[in-house]
Amino acid sequence: MKNNRFQKGTAMLELILAMAITAAMLPGVTALIFHEWRGTSIAKNQVRTSHEISNAARWITQDGKMAETSDLIDGAPPAEQVTLSWTDRYAFVNIPHSSTYYLSGKDLLRTYDLKTTTVARDISQIGFSQTGNLVTITISCSPGYWVPYGEVTKTYIVYLRGAQ
């Protein structure tokens, strides 16, 4: 009990000191959290857009390798839509197929033998052009929200097999 008289006021001083230290550290901790969130968003966006472009390219190149013809004009500027056509030839029957790729909003749609499916999302731009039997596909993908360095563009070339 005899030490209590020397302890008067120190609890308030310690509380003020703790609040000052916390106030000094808060901006740094907040900046660190924001930096980590932003870096994660950029990385996540890059992976997501690359994945969407890869999905689109996989379907288009798969059909392109089977295709004998396209509706593109040789040497014309890039078109926003393409129809690829081919025939499966068997001993007693020939079965014609076609695939059409086009944008509907930001979704890349594939219509294969009259059935439509979505093959990629957040596609901001697509272009198809043909030179000889080579079809060039340029795909741009961007997220629906703001992230710096958001748009990714890739170009693919497919060699049409030609009619046999």
Instruction: List, in order, residues 6 or more apart from 112 with CB less than 8 Å away.
Output: 63, 97, 98, 99
In the chain, the number of structural domains is: 1
Is 110 part of any domain?
Answer: yes
Tell me, what's the pLDDT at 49?
84
**What is the domain range of residue 152?**
10-159
In a domain? residue 3: no
Residue 128 counted as domain residue: yes
> Would residue 109 count as lying in a domain?
yes
Is 66 contained in some domain?
yes
- What pLDDT score was predicted for residue 4? 61
Share in percent of the chain as helix, strand, coil (round to 5): 35, 35, 25
Residue at 124 is within a domain: yes
Answer yes or no: is 164 within a domain.
no
Spans in the chain with pLDDT lower than 50: none
In a domain, 136, yes or no: yes
Pure H helices in the chain:
10-66
Residues of 85-109 as b/e, b for ≥16 C-beta within 10 angstroms? Answer: bbeeeeeeeeeeebbbbbeeebebb
